[in-house]
Amino acid sequence: MKEDTGTDVNWISPRVVGYFDFDILDAPVDGEYCDFRGNTFHPVGMVNIPLAGMKSRTEYTECHIAPEDFPFDGVLVGTRFVQRTGHIDTVFPDRPDGTALIIMQKKVTVGKTYTADGNL
């Protein structure tokens, strides 16, 4: 999870969406964004993911699904998230003492083992 105050919305990589099998919602049709190279694109879709942090609560966070060539494999939170929740290093520390950030999948599949990079 990283913070990017250069964007208002949150982004999630397609690989993470597939790994956790989140339900994909339609993205707004008028949403056009510019990538790091200056190319414009429309989000693939959106997901609403649950995050749990040090504030002892679960918050559902809306994320736009980034294009396949997105340079970050994870969740990128934007300005609105930071203004509402706080900087991610204060809410979701790298080395937790007690409560920690978790991204919860919609369902658990029994019988498959994944490596750290998401491969079977």
Superfamily (CATH) of domain 2-103: Acid Proteases (2.40.70.10)
CA distances from 54 to 39, 51, 83, 94, 95 (A): 37, 10, 16, 12, 12
- Residue range 27-70, pLDDT digits in tens: 887 778 887 778 888 888 999 988 766 656 667 789 999 888 88
For residue range 11-31, list pLDDT tens digits in order: 999 999 998 888 999 988 777
pTM: 0.69
